[in-house]
Amino acid sequence: MKYIATIALSAMLVSSISLISGGTVFAQQGKLNQGTLAIITVDGLVGGLADVVSDGKNLSVEISTPYAPDPDKEFEAWLVDDKRGGSAYYLNLGTINENGTLNYNEHLINPYTYTHLEITSEPKNDLDPRPDKSNIVGTTELIEPFGK
């Protein structure tokens, strides 16, 4: 298992180095806007990957991480309309499952309003619908046309 985690982290590191050095991690296909983004932890490490695809109305987000939350916690993913004077609205994409993945597909009126994707550590079976902003464990900025 450690071998698989090492390979996954190596792949994420290569992606993040490519992103930092100006290499292409973002690709466009027709009218869809797609990007593979590194999720950066609060310690500055690559904590996972997020694929974000939208045609302006339909949004697909796939997240993967080799990390697991503490036993009494779970990771939740959020799209955030913030950082640039937005509404500060957090859209919950759901809980990252036990195998470290999350798939979100939805029809949205304007998915491009979101500027960031954040991962929080939340109590298991949390009844509070808001994110615990004091426990953000990873974040990534969405690439244009997001943030409109």
Q: Tens digits of per-residue pLDDT, 96-143?
A: 999 999 999 999 998 999 999 999 999 998 999 999 999 999 999 998
Residue ranges of domains in the chain: 2-141
CATH assignment of 2-141, given 2.130.10, 3.40.50, 2.60.40, 3.10.450? 2.60.40
Which DSSP state fits 83?
Answer: S
Confidence tier at 94 by pLDDT (50, 70, 90) = very high
Nearest alpha carbon to residue 146 among 80, 76, 48, 49: 80
Q: What is the pLDDT of residue 77?
A: 98
The pTM score is 0.77
What is the rounded CA–CA span in Å between residue 87 and residue 96?
A: 25
Q: Tens digits of per-residue pLDDT, 13-49?
A: 434 433 333 333 333 344 455 678 999 999 999 999 9
